[in-house]
Amino acid sequence: MLLTITANPSLDRVLHLPHLAIGQVHRATSLKLVAAGKGLNVVRAAVTLGAPALATGMLAGRHGQIVAELFQADGFAADWYWLPAGETRVCTMLNQDSGDTTVINEPGPDISAAEWAGFAAHVQALAQSAWAVVFCGSMPPGVPPDAPGQLARALAGNGLPVYFDVGYQHLPSLLDNPQGVCVKVNRAELAAGLGHSLDSVGALEPVIEAGQRLLARGATQVVVTLGSAGALAVSPEGVWQAIPPAVAVVSTVGSGDSLTAGLMAAQLRGLPLAQALAHGVAAGAANALNSVPGRLELAEFEQLLARVRVNQY
């Protein structure tokens, strides 16, 4: 199974609005409550793509109970770590007719050192039965900057494929020492984590050079998402860019997580990185056709996969 680690899950309120204007009263045309968080999105997409997956994360309070109930009702597997106090965060997504999405993310409950230690032990126990692990999303307040990276490196040291897709506050410490870990970021996160710009009139050379520096520090591979330009993979075997076809976007939220799911599922099936990257990009594009993050249609994925272009550098 794939094990996804979401330290800061959320209860998402997904509303659709014809348009959004600051300072005005709006009436939503629809509302969905979704058990959310990047790792939960990865599970949804991975299961659709035929890869068994298990989610874990820290939950608390009534909102946490609703997250667990919604995720179970959707038919997905999870083994949660329950906090003794606090409340799981609620995040709000405002989807417009234009395809634009406005996201308001709450911070999450405060985590003590003892709670993080308990969660890390919980993850290590679950990882003993996993084929691969992915760390996803932001961390709640109180988690030390290097804590996720330390846990990721410990699991990688046990021989597990470990993917790291964690928020900018905890990314720099991992980029300093990515030993044994697959780094998965978007271009802006990579620039912020390294502390310098990667812009060069849209050119990929600075991104490729940054990926190669991370390989020299011990990363197993580096995957950088590029929005509508797809994604770039840098590995000891080579460098590839996978570019998806244009789609009629409903919401891009969760597309990066779906890309992670497609990439991991394909690599665990033994596909080479270039093909796995194409699977990831197709999954990300299929996600953009739906309003719920990570919920993609297999037929749409397969149609998009056939149209993905892969370039080698």
The pTM is what? 0.91
Integer Cα distance of 195 and 223 in angstroms: 18
pLDDT digits (tens, 9 = 90+) for 122-151: 999 999 999 999 999 999 999 999 999 999
The answer, yes or no, to whether residue 168 has pLDDT greater than 80, is no
Using an 8 Å Cβ cutoff, are 11 and 93 in contact? no
The answer, yes or no, to whether residue 99 has pLDDT greater than 80, is no
Give, in order, the Cα–Cα distances in Å from 259 to each of 108, 145, 192, 227: 25, 25, 21, 11
**In CATH, 2-312 is 3.40.1190.20:** yes
Q: What average pLDDT score do residues 108-124 get? A: 97
Work out the percent of the chain whose per-residue pLDDT is above 90. 83
pLDDT value for 222: 97
Active site residues: 257
Task: Name the average pLDDT for the chain.
Answer: 94
pLDDT digits (tens, 9 = 90+) for 244-253: 999 998 888 8
Using an 8 Å Cβ cutoff, are 247 and 211 in contact? no
